[in-house]
Structure 1
């Protein structure tokens, strides 16, 4: 490896980077022929960091840096290489060796170059690179995934008007990349502040993708080996959590930000843009909410087919607890008297998602688990109904059979429900009951 390094030091920056890429191709192609699990050794990583990302291990050596033109040429060379490499395994290994974060000084340069490469791949529709990026998004820590998502959003939704159409068309070329991109975008834009609310163009694109094909959000899950374990800190295997957050929080977040004053005394940027563009985003979130319910309804069959029903949480209980807490804080920030409609809409959507998710097996908890959490929210009839459910009372109970116990403590207080065999037999994952008194449809 030292001989290669000394040879590269005599070359110009672009030539050295091209030579490292050529070395990686030979290295991984030979490894795949000799071993089932290729290993990226330390020397190879150091070559990549030194001659592609220009982070030298030797302080006494001044590295030659590429000019902007040379960097563009290198990106074009990478684009051509990944497009022409016929072996997917080699492509994936080289992409990982180049861009997997190592926790060192080169990571910022690594992320910057990958963002430019993936952005270029979107512009010229290089599917092999998009597929490599999809795998990278699946196995990399969420902190880095949202950084890539931010680069693409800036490039195609902010800098050049109309360029979002180029990103929108990627759906037909690489649905797997789109699934992972949605997961990263919903993790980035969590509606916690005005800056973290998706633009109308980005929102419309995501909603269009999902309403056209609800199965898009399940592509990673459907293609994932049953025994696969997600790396610690990685994005979820579906964007469902982020999409549920968008639907439930959007009425309250937009209401809060439309009232938020800024330094010059005007309302927030989001409210001004909505007025200027004449865009009513409520229908988009309503369409998204309907699609989320449809996706949850599809999940039961897929979980059963994979023998994962009751064993895999696609919506984790802790995530739902966090969402309820976020909704509670938003309600506290708003004047309930001036946000009655928004609060009701948010809680209606939350109630529907919880009911359908529990019934489909995507959320592995019972009403008893959720009841004390949801009791912190304002009263909502639909949430009251979903959280209570028809509970069979023991013969000696003071209540009538079929009584719906309140999740909010009434003024006079009810005696606690005793633990009985009937209560213990209550199913952990309730199914839909024909003839229920309320339909499953998005609340408008």
Structure 2
């Protein structure tokens, strides 16, 4: 059947049924024997643009209006139903990347952001795994990925902060998505923007800390379980969030005060039976400790150290942490030290920061997690302000090279 015949057949349906039919046709064209030709891919893209996103008319011209808000919701429902059906992981990723994998318009990115946010709300593993593959193939630091992740943060970590238990479970149900999500998140925060450091929302920090602390292998998930891609597709290397998290934990002492937050939380009433008396209900208040930001970063640092140990490769070259990414800490710390006007040894915040760098570098190097130019990394670290632990670590590994 020619593309013109396929389009003619789909035009018999009204939207959103036309979008549903188009997805079936796209699957048939993309998942046949062998990789599709360039002409076939062009035909698929035309069908997606005309019948799924309503971006073009039957003559190929651009539609100015596109989907209205009701049609967007209908399309999201169609895509969710399709991807949750009994299709293989390879087919699902093939269709998903065909829908959203190019340098697409803001309209498609808006729909994808809503899909991702809904998948997080519903803990939809099939959808989240597809979004995780999309993040990796687009690049976790790409503008499209960062925009999607910002939308998820807004919906689930800023507007809604009461769903922490459901969010915590994602590390088990969709670890590849969570790993790529964290990688993108570390690009958004703890970076200098116009002279100010943008810190992550505390609720986001709490969830990421819970994820990493409870699941040492989580950060390696995208590398341990390569995504099944369509024939001919070029898999993008998975970048772990470990280097970004090392940055967060190392820099935290410079920006976060050592404070303690306590919350009084009532426990359910207990019935206490006293001999010779009737039962009385007694309310007992229990003091529970809500970790401060400083304590959360300390807990996260411990989780990162455990993750670095879990990142050791028994076969093949190391892939967990890029030496260049670790070395990128040096210029910021040098600038801080020069601006502080204090001797490095007398600056407690700076020493805490350097201690954490030393601990992370030691465990990463000792477990063979670092790839890239390690000699250059050690030379850069040697330019940092004086810290006894860091100096011992640098000297030890320089002698071993």
* Range into which the TM-score falls when normalised by the shorter chain: 0.7 to 0.9
Give a deviation string over 1:178-207, Cα, whole Å, max 9, x none.
222112212222433457321111011011
Question: Secondary structure of 2:200's partner?
Answer: coil
Report the equivalent of 2:323: 317
Gaps of 5+ in 1: 259-270, 392-425, 429-444
Provide the rounded CA distance (Å) in 1 between the counterparts of 2:101 and 2:209: 30
1:352 aligned residue (352, 359, 376): 359
Q: Whose strand fraction is larger, Structure 1's or Structure 2's?
A: 2
User: Is the deviation greater in 238-247 or in 327-336?
Assistant: 327-336
Preserved contact between residue 125 and residue 170 of structure 1 (Cα < 8 Å): yes
Structure 1 residues 86 and 6: CA distance shift in structure 2, 3 A: closer
Preserved contact between residue 207 and residue 284 of structure 1 (Cα < 8 Å): yes
Structure 1 residues 9 and 366: CA distance shift in structure 2, 3 A: closer
- Structure 1 residue 12 displacement after superposition: 4.7
Report the equivalent of 1:43: 43
1:384 aligned residue (391, 397, 401): 391
Question: Secondary structure of 2:292's partner?
Answer: coil
Provide the rounded CA distance (Å) in 2 between the counterparts of 1:76 and 1:366: 48
Structure 1 residues 199 and 55: CA distance shift in structure 2, 3 A: same
- Structure 1 residue 161 displacement after superposition: 3.6
Structure 1 residues 3 and 320: CA distance shift in structure 2, 3 A: same
Give a deviation string over 1:119-167, Cα, whole Å, max 9, x none.
1122222211111112222222231222221111111011234244443
Structure 1 residues 72 and 344: CA distance shift in structure 2, 3 A: same
Report the equivalent of 1:410: none
Report the equivalent of 1:21: 23
1:136 aligned residue (131, 134, 137): 134
Task: Report the RMSD for the aligned CA atoms in angstroms.
Answer: 3.3
Report the equivalent of 1:98: 99
- Structure 1 residue 278 displacement after superposition: 8.2
Structure 1 residues 42 and 337: CA distance shift in structure 2, 3 A: same
Report the equivalent of 1:244: 246
Provide the rounded CA distance (Å) in 2 between the counterparts of 1:12 and 1:334: 66
Structure 1 residues 87 and 281: CA distance shift in structure 2, 3 A: same
Count of aligned residue pairs for this structure pair:
359
Preserved contact between residue 22 and residue 47 of structure 2 (Cα < 8 Å): yes
Report the equivalent of 1:112: 110
Preserved contact between residue 215 and residue 295 of structure 1 (Cα < 8 Å): yes
Report the equivalent of 2:278: none
Report the equivalent of 2:181: 181
Give a deviation string over 1:236-282, Cα, whole Å, max 9, x none.
43211111111111222447xx9xxxxxxxxxxxx9x99xx986211
Preserved contact between residue 217 and residue 240 of structure 1 (Cα < 8 Å): yes
The 5 A counterparts of 1:409-424 are: none
Provide the rounded CA distance (Å) in 2 between the counterparts of 1:298 and 1:158: 31
TM-score for the superposition, normalised by structure 1? 0.71
The 5 A counterparts of 1:237-276 are: 237-254=239-256
User: Is the deviation greater in 161-170 or in 208-217?
Assistant: 161-170
Report the equivalent of 1:361: 368
Report the equivalent of 1:408: none
1:221 aligns with 2:223: yes
Provide the rounded CA distance (Å) in 1 between the counterparts of 2:73 and 2:248: 37
Structure 1 residues 186 and 366: CA distance shift in structure 2, 3 A: closer
Preserved contact between residue 358 and residue 364 of structure 1 (Cα < 8 Å): no
- Structure 1 residue 116 displacement after superposition: 0.7
1:292 aligned residue (279, 304, 309): 304
- Structure 1 residue 328 displacement after superposition: 2.1
Preserved contact between residue 179 and residue 238 of structure 1 (Cα < 8 Å): yes
Question: Secondary structure of 1:214's partner?
Answer: coil
Question: Secondary structure of 2:321's partner?
Answer: coil
Provide the rounded CA distance (Å) in 1 between the counterparts of 2:332 and 2:392: 21
Report the equivalent of 1:70: 71
Gaps of 5+ in 2: 228-232, 263-288
